[in-house]
């Protein structure tokens, strides 16, 4: 049975709506690595929707469960009526925080700003994923979406947290959504607070208040946890996980779809040469990095974009072969002098940039520097903010940008590849371009048969590996630590949910 057919008849039997229960005066303080971009952060802009989705403020039409399966959320069902047309029937008796009902027109009004360049909710990344030509209401309960092109990933795209369904804002509800918690206040890049929605359709949530406190430095977050300033830390430092568990803290370490990888500067500098890219990739001992950086909490060396066991992964192995790396450097025209490689008469230097909000990033970059040095390549590491690092790779002042992304945030394989590696991808900061890959990614959108799509994305991954379009390093478990007394929490493989939720389909 196809995904579309299954979803037409799908109904959620149970949905646990509360954030993790915690016995501390009805509140939960969570330390997280990133935060709101404004005092009233529009969930549709940037990645604000991830935080509002995680804290239970906003909801999406579709959702992703803990097995990375798609289910109707605010939608009751979704049906494809033509190659470019989808009919979404809304769930009954859903209300926004201000008490107004969820209607088809409200959904249209919420999604339209994503494509409006003049609106604060504009989001080029999400706009490209949606590829909308038109939206219309068929009565109060059915939204008809028409895309510019056939798009097999469209139902999955509707689970993207940035496609948050919002009602008209007011002073009382500046973010007027439908979730079990309502937005209370935010301080940009510092703090995000939500309060219980007593009128939530599945009953009041288990906590009166949840606070997300931003700490860009995982070590600082760990100190705040031990000092009792926060109750829970998302992405706790891997190197301290074993010790903190021995103190009686609750530890969670579960596989996710997050990949640590290098974006390559494919437009200028040494990494513009595919032979040099391949050589750099072969010089990196990925298993050595996993063993040293992740401290046994869980992770696996990555040869391709998607992790084993989470769907879509091609059979592309992580290879460590420094001798082959040196052969490729010679083939690229480099010459080794005094133990160091020279290219075009200049020392071969690789500038690596990354950011500090995840504990594993800096040591991964430093170990990469050591592995490159071991074969005679000089590498420099600079740790800053994500935006500055992205700018550096885009303007050619850096050669490698170490990042950590969830590769199937909507459960579908196409979105991240299109965003990162398509010639016009919204986050293609390395300016990589490959016409064959572009065509495959377009074909993946246009193909609705699951087995055919698997073959398409398998081929795409082999192209990425052969051309070293990015350099995967490892897939990682998400590490979370909480004080004793926490119940009802589980690590979600997309990391976009802190709310525990269960789904069961009836066909």
Mean pLDDT of the chain: 91
Q: Which of 89, 86, 104 is nearest to 150 (CA)?
A: 86
Task: Kindly tell me if the per-residue pLDDT of 480 is higher than 50.
Answer: yes
Residue 189, pLDDT score: 92
Cα dihedral 272→274→276→279 (10° resolution): 150
Q: Are 500 and 16 in contact (CB under 8 A)?
A: yes
Task: Kindly tell me if the per-residue pLDDT of 222 is higher than 70.
Answer: yes
CA-atom Rg of the chain in angstroms: 23
Separation of alpha carbons 164 and 63, rounded Å: 11
Q: Which runs of consecutive H residues, i.e. helices, occur in 332-413?
A: 361-374, 386-394
Rounded to 5°, angle at Cα 122 from 45 and 401: 60
Rounded to 5°, angle at Cα 78 from 77 and 81: 140
Separation of alpha carbons 444 and 417, rounded Å: 11
Confidence of residue 309 (pLDDT cuts 50, 70, 90): confident
Tokens matching residue 305: 């974009």
- Find the range with the poorest average confidence among 20-24, 190-194, 233-237, 468-472: 20-24
Question: Does the CA dihedral 91-406-395-467 come out positive or negative?
Answer: negative
Mean pLDDT of the 175-203 span: 95
Instruction: Say how many residues make up the chain.
Output: 507
Terminal C-alpha separation, the chain = 10
Residue 32, pLDDT score: 94
* Pairing, β 470-482 against β 250-264: antiparallel
Residue 503, pLDDT score: 40
Residue 19, pLDDT score: 57
Residue 123, pLDDT score: 95
Tens of pLDDT along 311-336? 799 999 999 999 999 999 999 999 99
E strand or H helix at 346: strand 346-347
Confidence of residue 485 (pLDDT cuts 50, 70, 90): confident
Separation of alpha carbons 471 and 186, rounded Å: 36
Mean pLDDT of the 48-52 span: 95
Task: Kindly tell me if the per-residue pLDDT of 12 is higher than 50.
Answer: no
Mean pLDDT of the 1-27 span: 44
Mean pLDDT of the 375-389 span: 95
Q: Are 473 and 307 in contact (CB under 8 A)?
A: no
Confidence of residue 501 (pLDDT cuts 50, 70, 90): low
Separation of alpha carbons 234 and 143, rounded Å: 36
Task: Kindly tell me if the per-residue pLDDT of 500 is higher than 80.
Answer: no
Q: Which of 39, 161, 138, 21 is nearest to 86 (CA)?
A: 138
Residue 20, pLDDT score: 60
The pTM for the full model equals 0.83
Separation of alpha carbons 239 and 293, rounded Å: 7
Residue 10, pLDDT score: 35
Residue 205, pLDDT score: 87
Which string of DSSP letters, residue by residue, matches 144-195? Answer: EEEESS--TTHHHHTT-TTS-------SS-SS---SSEEEEEEETTTEEEEE
Confidence of residue 6 (pLDDT cuts 50, 70, 90): very low
Task: Kindly tell me if the per-residue pLDDT of 14 is higher than 60.
Answer: no
- Within 10 angstroms of residue 505's Cβ, the number of other Cβ atoms is 16
Tens of pLDDT along 340-368? 999 999 999 999 999 988 889 999 999 99
Tens of pLDDT along 408-464? 888 889 989 999 999 999 899 999 999 999 999 999 999 999 899 999 999 999 999
Confidence of residue 23 (pLDDT cuts 50, 70, 90): very low
Identify the residue whose tokens are 């999400």. 126
Mean pLDDT of the 76-99 span: 96
Encode 23-38 in three state secondary structure.
CCCCEEEEEECCCCCC
Separation of alpha carbons 256 and 129, rounded Å: 22
- pLDDT > 70: percent of the chain: 93
Q: Are 184 and 173 in contact (CB under 8 A)?
A: no
Confidence of residue 21 (pLDDT cuts 50, 70, 90): low
Mean pLDDT of the 73-101 span: 97
Residue 69, pLDDT score: 87
Mean pLDDT of the 272-277 span: 98
Tokens matching residue 310: 């989470």
Separation of alpha carbons 443 and 453, rounded Å: 8
Confidence of residue 4 (pLDDT cuts 50, 70, 90): very low
Question: Does the CA dihedral 136-59-130-112 come out positive or negative?
Answer: positive
Tokens matching residue 175: 């973010």
Q: Which of 137, 138, 112 is nearest to 126 (CA)?
A: 112
- Find the range with the poorest average confidence among 141-145, 262-266, 371-375, 482-486: 482-486
Tens of pLDDT along 127-160? 988 999 999 999 999 999 999 999 999 999 999 9
Q: Which residues of 482-502 are buried (b: 16+ CB within 10 A; e: fewer)?
A: bbeebeebbbbbbbbbbbbbe
The Cα-based distances of 432 to 263, 352, 380, 417, 486 in angstroms read 9, 17, 22, 12, 45
């Amino acid at each position: 049975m196809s995904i579309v057919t299954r979803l037409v008849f799908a109904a959620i039997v149970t949905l646990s709506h509360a954030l993790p229960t915690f016995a501390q005066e009805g509140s939960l303080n969570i330390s997280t690595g990133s935060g709101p971009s404004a005092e009233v952060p529009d969930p549709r802009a940037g990645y604000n929707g991830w935080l509002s989705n995680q804290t239970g403020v906003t909801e999406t039409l579709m959702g992703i469960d803990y097995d990375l399966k798609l289910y109707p959320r605010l939608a009751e069902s979704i049906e494809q009526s033509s190659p470019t047309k989808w009919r979404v029937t809304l769930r009954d008796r859903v209300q926004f925080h201000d008490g107004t009902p969820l209607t088809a027109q409200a959904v249209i009004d919420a999604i339209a700003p994503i494509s409006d360049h003049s609106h604060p909710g504009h989001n080029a990344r999400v706009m490209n994923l949606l590829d909308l030509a038109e939206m219309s209401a068929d009565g109060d309960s059915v939204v008809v979406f028409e895309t510019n092109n056939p798009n097999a990933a469209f139902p999955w795209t509707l689970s993207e947290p940035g496609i948050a369904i919002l009602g008209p804002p007011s002073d009382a509800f500046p973010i007027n959504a439908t979730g079990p918690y309502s937005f209370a206040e935010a301080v940009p890049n510092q703090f995000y607070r939500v309060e219980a929605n007593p009128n939530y359709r599945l009953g009041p949530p288990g906590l009166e208040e949840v606070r997300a406190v931003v700490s860009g430095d995982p070590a600082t977050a760990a100190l705040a946890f031990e000092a009792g300033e926060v109750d829970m830390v998302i992405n706790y430092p891997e190197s301290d996980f074993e010790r903190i568990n021995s103190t009686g803290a609750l530890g969670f370490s579960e596989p996710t779809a997050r990949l640590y990888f290098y974006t390559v500067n494919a437009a200028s500098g040494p990494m513009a040469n595919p032979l040099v890219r391949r050589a750099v990739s072969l010089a990196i001992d990925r298993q050595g990095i996993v063993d040293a950086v992740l401290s046994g909490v869980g992770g696996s060396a990555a040869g391709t974009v998607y992790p084993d066991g989470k769907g879509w992964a091609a059979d592309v192995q992580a290879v460590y072969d420094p001798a082959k790396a040196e052969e490729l450097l010679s083939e690229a025209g480099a010459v080794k002098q005094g133990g160091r490689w020279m290219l075009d008469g200049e020392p071969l230097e690789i500038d690596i940039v990354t950011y500090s909000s995840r504990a594993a990033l800096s040591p991964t970059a430093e170990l990469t520097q050591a592995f490159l040095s071991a074969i005679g390549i000089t590498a420099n590491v600079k740790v800053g903010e994500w935006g500055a690092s992205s700018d550096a790779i885009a303007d050619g002042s850096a050669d490698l940008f170490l990042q950590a992304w969830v590769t199937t945030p909507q459960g579908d394989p196409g979105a991240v590849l299109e965003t990162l590696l398509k010639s016009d991808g919204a986050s293609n900061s390395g300016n990589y371009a490959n016409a064959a890959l572009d065509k495959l990614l377009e074909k993946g959108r246009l193909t609705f048969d699951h087995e055919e799509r698997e073959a398409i994305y398998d081929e795409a991954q082999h192209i990425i590996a052969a051309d070293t379009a990015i350099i995967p390093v490892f897939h990682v478990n998400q590490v979370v630590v909480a004080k004793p007394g926490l119940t009802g929490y589980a690590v979600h493989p997309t990391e976009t949910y802190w709310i525990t939720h269960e789904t069961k389909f009836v066909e």
